[in-house]
C-alpha cells in the first residue's frame, strides 16, 4: 500500500487526505515513480476548490510536479529506466493523473531525467515555473536581447523563473509587486528593477526605465483592473501575455492602447506548449540547458512534510511566499 494525496469533496485545504491505495502498475506508455519531493502550484489549489479549468472527478488525485526514482516502466517506455532520478513535466490534466503521493504513475512523455546536481526539492520545483516562463516569454513572445519585460506577481515561482529566463536571453526583467516587502528579495533574485505599485506609478516608471518606449513584453498572471495599466506601459507592437487570473474582478482592456500601439494581447497556459510534442521537447531542452550552465536555479521558499500537505496548501493560499513551496516524502 502507498499513501496518495486525494480529496473526496471540493473545498479548503482540510479536504485533502492521505489515502492508502494499492501501488500503481504502469500501462505500456507509463512510468511508476517512488517520489522523494513534490511541488505545490496555484493550479492545484484551484483544482481542489473546484475553481480550475477542469472539474475534478471525485474522489480525485492531485498534483502536477514530483521528483523521485523510477520504480517501473511500461513496455513502450525507453527513455528512462528503473533506478533513474527523474522529475515530472506538467504535460497532462489533473483529471488524468495526479502525482502527489508516495508512489505515483505518470505518462512517459512527461517524465524526464534532470541534472544530477539538483536536490530532490529543486527537481520538484523546476518544470511548472520554467516551462510556463519559457512558453510565454520565448515560445510565444519571442523575447530577445535588449528588450524589456514587465513581470507581474514576480515573487511567485513562475515570476522568479521568468526573471532567470529573461536574463538568460539578454533581456531586462522588471519585477512588479504590490508592496515593498519583497523588493530586495526580487533584486537578489536577479530583477534588473522593481516597481512597487503601492508606491510608484507603474506606467510612468516603466516608461522611465525604457527611455519612454514602454516594455515590449508584459507577463501577467493577475488580470483584474490593473491590467489596463500594463497596456498603457507596453511598447508599440508589444505583446501582453495573460497566464492567470489571480484577481477575479473584471479585467478591462484599453482599446485605445491596443489599437494605437498595435498590441497583441494573448491568453496562455503552459499546456499549449507541453501538449505539443515538438514544442514540449524544445521547452525541456531550453530548461535543461539553463540548469546545466547555471543560468537557472529554482528558488524554494519553504518545505513541508507529506503529512503536512494541507498546511502547505494553506501557506500557498496566504500568498506570502517568494519562490516554490515543496513537500518532501520520506
Q: At what angle do helices 127-134 and 277-293 cross, to 10 degrees?
A: 110
Q: Give dist(CA 93, CA 214) in Å, integer.
A: 36
Q: Tell me the average pLDDT across 104-128.
A: 97
Per DSSP, the three-state class of 35 is: strand
Cβ–Cβ under 8 Å, residues 235 and 261: yes
- C-alpha 194/C-alpha 102 separation (Å) is 40
How many angstroms separate the Cα of 194 from the Cα of each of 19, 51, 214, 269? 44, 31, 15, 25
Average pLDDT over residues 101-126: 97
* Least confident span in 27-31, 118-122, 203-207, 248-252: 248-252
- For residues 302-312, average pLDDT: 98
Distance from C-alpha of 231 to C-alpha of 229, rounded to nearest angstrom: 5
CB 5 within 8 A of CB 61: yes
Return the C-alpha cell found at 28: 505500456
Length of the chain: 330
CATH number 3.40.50.720 given to 129-271? yes
What is the C-alpha separation between 284 and 57, in angstroms, rounded?
30
Quote the cell numbers at residue 233. 506601459
pLDDT digits (tens, 9 = 90+) for 6-59: 999 999 999 999 999 999 999 999 999 999 999 999 999 999 999 998 999 999
Which pLDDT score, from 0 to 100, does residue 29 have? 98
Q: Does CATH place domain 2-126+298-328 in 3.90.180.10?
A: yes
What is the phi/psi pair of residue 158, to 5°? -70, -40
pLDDT in the model for residue 152: 97
Residues 177, 152: Cα–Cα separation, whole Å: 6
- Is the predicted pLDDT of residue 286 greater than 90, yes or no? yes
The DSSP 8-state label assigned to residue 285 in this structure reads H
Residue written as grid cell 525507453: 78
Q: What gap in Å lies between CA 141 and CA 65, rounded to an integer?
A: 25
Same fold yes or no, 2-126+298-328 and 129-271: no
Note the pLDDT tens digit of each residue in 71-103.
999 999 999 999 999 999 999 999 999 999 999
Q: Which residues of 57-93 are buried (b: 16+ CB within 10 A; e: fewer)?
A: eeebbbbbbbbbebbbbbeebeebeeebbbbbbbbbe
Q: How far apart are CA 264 and CA 239, in angstroms?
A: 5
pLDDT tens for 214-238 read 999 999 999 999 999 999 999 999 9
pLDDT at residue 71 in the model: 98
Domain definitions of the chain by residue range: 2-126+298-328, 129-271
93, 174, 257, 262, 316 from 44: Cα distances, Å: 11, 27, 34, 35, 10
| Three-class SS state of 122 | helix
pLDDT (average), residues 174-202: 96
**pLDDT for res 320:** 87
Q: What is the rounded distance in angstroms from the CA atom of residue 140 to the CA atom of residue 305?
A: 37
With beta carbons less than 8 A apart as the criterion, state whether 152 and 181 touch. no
Report CA-CA distances (Å) from 311 to 50, 54, 302: 19, 24, 11
248 pLDDT band (50/70/90 cuts)?
A: confident
Task: Specify the pLDDT at position 31.
Answer: 98
Q: What is the pLDDT of residue 238?
A: 98
Predicted local confidence at residue 319, as pLDDT = 87
Amino acid at each position: 500500500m502507498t499513501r496518495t494525496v486525494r480529496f473526496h469533496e471540493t473545498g479548503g485545504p482540510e479536504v485533502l487526505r492521505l489515502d492508502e491505495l494499492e501501488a500503481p502498475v504502469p500501462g505500456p506508455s507509463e512510468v511508476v515513480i517512488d517520489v522523494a519531493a513534490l511541488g505545490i502550484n496555484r493550479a492545484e489549489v484551484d483544482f481542489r476548490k473546484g475553481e480550475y479549468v477542469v472539474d475534478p472527478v471525485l474522489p480525485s488525485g492531485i498534483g502536477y510536479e514530483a521528483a523521485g526514482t523510477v520504480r517501473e516502466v511500461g513496455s513502450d517506455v525507453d527513455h528512462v529506466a528503473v533506478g533513474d532520478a527523474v522529475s515530472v513535466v506538467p504535460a497532462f490534466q489533473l483529471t488524468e493523473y495526479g502525482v502527489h503521493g508516495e508512489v505515483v504513475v505518470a505518462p512517459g512523455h512527461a517524465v524526464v531525467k534532470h541534472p544530477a546536481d539538483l536536490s530532490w526539492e529543486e527537481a520538484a520545483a523546476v518544470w511548472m515555473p520554467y516551462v510556463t516562463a519559457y512558453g510565454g516569454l520565448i515560445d510565444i513572445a519571442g523575447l530577445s536581447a535588449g528588450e524589456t519585460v514587465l513581470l507581474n506577481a514576480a515573487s511567485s515561482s513562475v515570476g522568479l523563473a521568468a526573471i532567470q529566463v529573461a536574463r538568460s536571453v539578454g533581456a531586462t526583467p522588471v519585477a512588479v509587486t504590490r508592496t515593498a516587502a519583497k523588493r530586495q528579495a526580487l533584486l537578489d533574485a536577479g530583477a534588473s528593477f522593481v516597481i512597487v505599485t503601492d508606491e510608484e506609478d507603474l506606467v510612468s516608471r516603466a516608461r522611465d526605465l525604457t527611455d519612454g518606449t514602454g516594455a515590449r513584453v508584459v507577463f501577467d498572471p493577475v488580470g483584474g483592473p490593473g491590467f489596463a495599466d500594463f497596456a498603457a506601459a507596453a511598447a508599440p507592437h508589444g505583446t501582453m501575455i495573460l497566464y492567470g487570473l489571480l484577481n477575479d474582478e473584471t479585467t478591462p482592456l484599453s482599446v485605445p492602447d491596443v489599437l494605437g500601439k498595435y498590441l497583441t494581447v494573448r491568453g496562455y497556459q503552459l499546456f499549449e506548449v507541453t501538449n505539443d510534442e515538438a514544442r514540449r521537447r524544445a521547452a525541456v531542452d531550453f530548461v535543461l540547458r539553463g540548469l546545466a550552465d547555471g543560468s537557472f536555479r529554482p528558488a524554494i521558499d519553504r518545505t513541508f512534510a507529506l503529512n503536512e500537505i494541507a498546511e502547505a496548501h494553506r501557506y500557498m493560499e496566504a500568498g506570502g511566499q517568494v519562490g516554490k513551496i515543496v513537500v518532501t516524502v520520506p
